[in-house]
Structure 1
Amino acid sequence: MAIVGGSGFIGSNLADSLLSDGEPVLVIDNFSRPGVEQNLEWLAQKHGSHLGVETVDIRDQASLACALAPAKAIFHLAAQTAVTTSLADPAEDLDVNLKGTFNVLEAARRAGMPVIFASTNKVYGSLPQIGVREADDRYEPDDETIRANGVDETIGLDFCTPYGCSKGAADQYVLDYAKSYGLPTAVLRMSCIYGPRQFGTEDQGWVAHFLLSALSNRPITIYGDGKQVRDILHVSDAVAAYRSVLARIDDLKGQAFNLGGGPRNAVSLRALLSEIAAMTGRDIVLRHDTQRTGDQPFFVADTRKAEAALDWRAHVSWREGVCDLASWLLQHRLQPRSETARYVA
């Protein structure tokens, strides 16, 4: 089993799950993101010789094809992941996210291997067609069905920002390779995934970023008014979905699924910050800036298609998951101190 981008946040958690079940895993990564070597060291210490590693950049088509040749399936998680970075350097964003995905698909096509691709809710754009109204601490859709169930896969693609374009085009290439070549591929359009092994920066991994900032007494910048709503999904539930898709790939090939916490795990930025303040006992210093390009006032994934097709659901509630992540961050990302005891919701 090959995990392209396997030293990253989701990739390392997925690798750990597979390895723990006795499945050999090949991690393919260029290790360009600072800190990911810590995830690889953790995997190597825990699983030893069952873990294989190849240092390859997905933009290097020949080296990638050679590295992937022994695999029987590919989880493709490698990407340039930040909207802000894509705006600053759209050429590299295109090269990594679209050309890199094309290289993965071509290697898989030659070998006839399944590909499970990590896409994003950003393929739906800023969702201007969904009218929203203000509630106490959040935006909520005017449409009652969307308010109850979230945004489903039929909403229509509407790329916005270079990141949305590159990931959206890659998403469509992955689906087309099932149509054009019969390759067993599937796409998971992820909402906000969080959990252990996440680095958490202002540009990507905002749940961990909020927690790290609060625990370190650093100010947090909110872009917009903080009433934006997202459904957050614990990484253990995301991993279960990825594995379920692969197990059913012959029946599901050529399909895209929204993957998020769903309405049960929908939370506004303001509500999450209030929960973190109460959980940590810290006064959080907030700064405000203008809303960022392409931001969605409301995105909650309608996961009913995934639930039915995968026999899957999100099990970790967002409060429980945030407590879990806070404890992990204190132990592994911050200096050990008396606060390393697990938080209780």
Structure 2
Amino acid sequence: MSLVAPNIKTTSDRVLVTGGCGFLGCNIAASLAARGHSVLAMDNLSRRGSRENADWLRHRHGNNVAIEVADTRDTEAVDALVSASSAVMHLAAQVAVTTSLADPISDFEVNGRGTLNVLEAIRRHNPRAPVIFASTNKVYGKLLDPSQVHHVDGRYVPDEPRLAHGVGEDTPLDLYSPYGCSKGAADQYVRDYARVFELRSVVLRMSCIYGPRQFGNEDQGWIAHFLLQAIQQRPITIYGDGHQVRDALFVDDAVNAWIGALDNIDEVPGRIFNLGGGPANAISLWDLLEFITELRGNRPDVRLDSWRPGDQPWYVSDVRAASQALNWKPLVPVRQGLQRLERWLDGHVSTSALSPELLEARI
């Protein structure tokens, strides 16, 4: 079923964006449409905010974007949409660790089987179409124990000098949680289809993407979660001690990396890249709370709770490989990106828009 009339222009540069009405997916779809591409945004519209994002795409880009209501578990729909496209940006996924723990089978069906359906459709019907896949830093597992980090200025810092630039793509996989397993399996299928079937694929292992059109559905969306709690004057719960560190990447920079992978596909087929803000945009939870206090003029109410299984004390992406191969680098510093996200949230999110998953946001 389409939300817009199927009169989208039939050109050879049509790009299919699965999960195209999600946070990152709709931003990628909008950027592609602005560049003149014809875009098919495929989404099952099951997550809060996806219908608003679909309306935003339709009103902003008109016939340059078609919204297809479909699910990657539907092989017939996937085959039809992949056959009609020149490239695939594959972001459709079950994204919550908490949901994967409650229903591991459904998590695998969406992330594992859904991705395999996309790959098979490309292999059988459209083998020259590039496919860029949204993976996650969770494929590296917990990565470091608390005994392998030390404190510097209120942050955890890894003991190993080799991590000075962040986590590289050669880091061994250590799948943790059903979500980590399903995304890790999909990650490796995408890589292997490049090696075995010569598909032109790229894997992007992402870390802490944030920015406008993020409604807080994702349990990785801790930056939006903290800001929303502050805006709503709700308490913020920190699991652990608040010294844990992540690298934050503003959505515009993430979109540029995705499009860079598409533009450079002939130079990078089969490659895997870690995608985050890198060391220059690494912040602790307490750092973010200080930024929010500066923005809002008052300090949020903070509560501490126990560490959760699999929580990483430190994760920062080494983005040097992506920077070199994709002619890309993060441009938006965290303070500026946070200001832009706050303005959008203030104008677009009400109390009724908050999702249950938001209240359990993970980092």
Does TM, normalized by the shorter one, top 0.5? yes
Find the partner of 1:145 among 156, 162, 177. Answer: 162
Equivalence for 2:29: 15
Equivalence for 2:71: 57
Asked if structure 1 preserves the Cα contact closer than 8 Å seen for 2:47 and 2:217, the reply is no
State the identity %: 54
Instruction: Give the deviation of 1:291 after TM superposition.
Output: 1.3
Runs of 4 or more, structure 1, over 6 Å off, are none
Distance change (3 Å), C-alpha of 1:172 and 1:4: same
User: Structure 1 CA distance, aligned partners of 2:96 and 2:71?
Assistant: 18
Instruction: Give the deviation of 1:21 after TM superposition.
Output: 1.3
Q: Per-residue CA shift, 1:11-67, capped at 9, x if unaligned?
A: 000011111111110001111102211011011001111111211111111221112
Find the partner of 1:165 among 181, 185, 199. Answer: 181
Asked if structure 2 preserves the Cα contact closer than 8 Å seen for 1:202 and 1:209, the reply is no
Equivalence for 2:361: none
User: Structure 2 CA distance, aligned partners of 1:36 and 1:203?
Assistant: 16
Equivalence for 1:323: 339
Instruction: Give the deviation of 1:201 after TM superposition.
Output: 4.7
Equivalence for 2:237: 221
1:83 is aligned to 2:83: no
Q: Per-residue CA shift, 1:62-115, capped at 9, x if unaligned?
A: 221112221000000011111111111111111100000000101111211211
Equivalence for 1:179: 195
Mapping 1:196-207, distance limit 5 Å: 196-201=212-217, 203-207=219-223
User: Structure 1 CA distance, aligned partners of 2:328 and 2:220?
Assistant: 26
User: Structure 1 CA distance, aligned partners of 2:253 and 2:219?
Assistant: 23
1:251 is aligned to 2:273: no
User: Structure 1 CA distance, aligned partners of 2:133 and 2:46?
Assistant: 20
Stretch of structure 1 that moved more, 126-135 or 111-120: 126-135
Amino acid at match of 2:35: D
Residue aligned with 2:229, SS = helix
Asked if structure 2 preserves the Cα contact closer than 8 Å seen for 1:140 and 1:298, the reply is yes
Equivalence for 2:12: none
Asked if structure 1 preserves the Cα contact closer than 8 Å seen for 2:94 and 2:107, the reply is yes
Instruction: Give the deviation of 1:204 after TM superposition.
Output: 3.3
User: Structure 2 CA distance, aligned partners of 1:153 and 1:67?
Assistant: 31
User: Structure 2 CA distance, aligned partners of 1:2 and 1:58?
Assistant: 12
User: Structure 2 CA distance, aligned partners of 1:282 and 1:38?
Assistant: 30
Amino acid at match of 2:62: G
Asked if structure 2 preserves the Cα contact closer than 8 Å seen for 1:141 and 1:298, the reply is yes
Equivalence for 2:6: none
Find the partner of 2:322 among 306, 313, 328. Answer: 306
Residue aligned with 1:27, SS = strand
Find the partner of 1:274 among 255, 269, 290. Answer: 290
Find the partner of 2:255 among 220, 239, 249. Answer: 239
Distance change (3 Å), C-alpha of 1:276 and 1:202: farther
Amino acid at match of 2:120: E
User: Structure 1 CA distance, aligned partners of 2:44 and 2:199?
Assistant: 26
Mapping 1:98-113, distance limit 5 Å: 98-110=112-124, 111-112=126-127, 113=129
User: Structure 1 CA distance, aligned partners of 2:120 and 2:218?
Assistant: 34
Residue aligned with 1:251, SS = coil
Q: Per-residue CA shift, 1:279-308, capped at 9, x if unaligned?
A: 111231112222122111100000000011
Asked if structure 2 preserves the Cα contact closer than 8 Å seen for 1:201 and 1:209, the reply is no
1:25 is aligned to 2:39: yes
1:135 is aligned to 2:152: yes
Amino acid at match of 1:234: F
TM-score by length of 1: 0.94
Residue aligned with 2:267, SS = helix
Amino acid at match of 1:136: D
Amino acid at match of 1:22: G
Amino acid at match of 2:268: L
Find the partner of 1:121 among 122, 125, 137. Answer: 137
Equivalence for 1:338: none
Equivalence for 1:341: none
CA RMSD of aligned residues (A): 1.3
- Corresponding residue pairs, total: 334
User: Structure 2 CA distance, aligned partners of 1:141 and 1:298?
Assistant: 7
1:332 is aligned to 2:348: yes
User: Structure 1 CA distance, aligned partners of 2:230 and 2:249?
Assistant: 20
Distance change (3 Å), C-alpha of 1:70 and 1:122: same
Residue aligned with 2:29, SS = helix
Stretch of structure 1 that moved more, 34-43 or 123-132: 123-132
Instruction: Give the deviation of 1:211 after TM superposition.
Output: 0.4
Asked if structure 1 preserves the Cα contact closer than 8 Å seen for 2:292 and 2:299, the reply is no
TM-score by length of 2: 0.90
Instruction: Give the deviation of 1:332 after TM superposition.
Output: 1.3
Instruction: Give the deviation of 1:202 after TM superposition.
Output: 7.5
Residue aligned with 1:53, SS = strand
Distance change (3 Å), C-alpha of 1:94 and 1:30: same
Amino acid at match of 1:101: T
